[in-house]
Amino acid sequence: MERAFEADPIPSLSETITLRSLVVSFVLGAALSAVAMKISLSSGFLPPLTIPAGLVGFYLCRAWIRVLDCFKVPHLPFTRQENTVIQTCVVACSAITFSGGFGTYVLAMNKGAAGEDVRDEKNIVEPSVGRLITFLFLVSFSGLFILMPFRKVMIIRHRLTYPSGMATAHLINSFHTPQGASNARQQVHVLFRSMGGTILWNVFQWFFAAARSCGFRDFPIFGLEAYKRGFYFDFCMTNVAVGMLCPYMITVSLFIGCVVSWGIVTPFLATKEGIWYSADLGPESLGGIRGYKIFIGVSMILADGLFNFLSIMVCTLCTMYKGRSQPMQVHCLNAAEQEKTKQSFDDRRRAQVFVRDHIPNSFSILCYILLSVVSTVAIPYLYPQMRPHHVAFIYLAAPVFAFCNAYGFGMTDMNLSSTYGKLAMLLVGSAVGRSNGGVVAGLVSCGIVMGAMSNSNNLLQELRTGYLTLTSPRAVFISQAIGTALGCVINPVMFWAFYKLQHGDADLFEVPYAWVYRGIAMLGAGQKGLPAHSLWLCKLFFALVLALSVLRGEASRRRWRVAEYMPSTICVAIAFVVPARIPIDMFVGSVAMFLWSRADSGRAREFSAAMASGLICGDGLGVLLSSMMELTHARAPICIKFLSSIDNVKLDAFLATLPRT
């Protein structure tokens, strides 16, 4: 690859971080943050946005240059380094949607997730824009400095792949060749066509949704009896697109979990109404069926997280032990070495650029210590349920766990920051106690861990992308910091707008993970309020999932053929929390992707990500348009409902009794 760019000079810092790149990053970061926020609040699944960020960033800059060329305005050439900076800044901004916990621990603190415990004021905190922005700035920027001293060890010495970062780098490198530019243009055309079609489809649906349960969002694809149990297709293009992006086994596992949860467990629990729980409880109460399913899903998620945590820790320690005696070497370019293989030339060229821009380790350590001290003082002020010594302990232990997490992430592309956050939630929640606000304290500790570790993972992944595109580490770090700062402001403001809109329409967003995190925090702070026999069911499903995870891991290690057909336990667990329509939507997306691959595998492989990204963006914009119509009190003119033939006869007979107007 680097032979193709050998004649191109390495741009300076001022030529990499330009006004053009900052403007494009801001616009694209805000747009993708809105899309990511909608996905996070609706389904809890957040697909990777690195491909859309790199693709649309490339297209916008090309369009910018064409406009300047038309007016004969001089400009800097658009390089792959500038493309990397844009992608880094945009992903850093939109990633705050996940690490900020807007669909998880933030909403788990409010009255909606508390259910019947709304009188427990110590364990309820309503979201506040000012508090969220301050909290995110503290925890997110600490993550930027926590692993900076280990960047050379991770990327050059241990040669960690960071698969998503490597894929993004190859995409950017391919864009900046003549053939790649043409291919990128075709992908952008597919993206905008699918986005436009999705927006038009959302507008078309609005005309037939005059009241609740009207329109095509309640389409009984499996029949009316299955519809009564929640099995229907709602034409949510976001979930369909996520199904196109996910591996087949993920969506199949979700569908299996959906059948087990809504087709077996829910009917069984319904027979215990009035025996295990009161018949007077509402559908959202954690003391009824929803509570059972939430805590069963929590136990399954904890079992799968425990297995992955232990297995990756063991794998990481074994790999580090085997490679401890290998010295770090950075080769220089000379005439003799240029005769070596192409890959060797790439390695030497990239290592030379990577180590050239020096970022002092003392600066990173000092900034982390300073942020830790400020957080220890400020976070207990923002959330009085937290104690200063709890915050200090988390910041002391964070570098060790962040290193282990980043090392495992570099090998497997599995980010376990949420698993570490759940462990911190249990530990801090039990230490504080429910009577002293242990639920909120546990959720805040989870936010500190997730914010710091996720941002440190993202930075190392972007440094890997910069390493493969010959982008200065200093430029990557600065763009990551700019994107983080934008995300810490843009995302809370967007969340606040969605949150206020949610109060206007209670069914607008499901926020399934908020219930999960609230359940885990309740388990950590104490067992008060759990429905009868729920702990027994949790232990049963915990043991089943742990045994299945061990069996799947052993089958993968021994390369048994059955391993590729074993469902993902974490996806089965998630299906206990989300509505049945979400796995169905994703399953439909996977079926569409499978049929497309069978019909034209080449085009499906090349344009599926662009089409899925267009569906996601179009659905997000369609929701915004629908929300604007709600705010203006506009009502759709038509209502469409699906009825059985018997109900239709009854309806016709009733309408016949009414006077005609």
pLDDT level of residue 337 (50, 70, 90 thresholds): very low
Asked if residue 655 is part of any domain, the answer here is: no
Q: What is the pLDDT of residues 16-70, one digit of tens each?
A: 999 999 999 999 999 888 878 877 777 655 656 676 777 778 888 888 888 888 8
Tokens linked to 272: 């215990």
C-alpha–C-alpha distance, residues 89 and 83, integer Å: 10
Q: Name which residue leads in pLDDT, 605 or 394.
A: 394
pLDDT level of residue 73 (50, 70, 90 thresholds): confident
pLDDT level of residue 411 (50, 70, 90 thresholds): low
Asked if residue 8 is part of any domain, the answer here is: no
Domains of the chain: total:
1
Q: What is the pLDDT of residues 154-206, one digit of tens each?
A: 888 777 777 677 767 777 877 777 665 566 667 777 877 888 888 888 888 88
Which residue is it, tokens 């790199």?
A: 54
Helix residue ranges per DSSP H, 469-600? 473-504, 512-525, 534-557, 569-574, 581-599
Asked if residue 579 is part of any domain, the answer here is: yes
Asked if residue 656 is part of any domain, the answer here is: no
Question: Which domain, by its residues, includes 224?
Answer: 13-324+343-645
> What local confidence, expressed as pLDDT, does residue 445 receive?
94
Q: CA of 225: how far to CAs of 538, 549, 578, 643, in Å?
A: 29, 34, 20, 11
Conformational region of residue 331, where left means phi above 0, alpha means psi within -120 to 50, and beta covers everything else: beta
pLDDT level of residue 293 (50, 70, 90 thresholds): confident
Asked if residue 144 is part of any domain, the answer here is: yes
> What local confidence, expressed as pLDDT, does residue 296 receive?
84
Asked if residue 567 is part of any domain, the answer here is: yes
Burial of 607 (0-12, 13-18, 19+ CB in 10 A): buried
Asked if residue 298 is part of any domain, the answer here is: yes
Task: Please give the full DSSP string across 250-310, using - where no structure is assigned.
Answer: HHHHHHHHHHHIIIIIHHHHHTTBTTTB-TT--TT-TTSHHHHHHHHHHHHHHHHHHHHHH
Whether 462 shows a pLDDT value over 50: the answer reads yes
Q: What is the mean pLDDT of residues 293-322?
A: 74
Whether 415 shows a pLDDT value over 80: the answer reads no
Asked if residue 330 is part of any domain, the answer here is: no
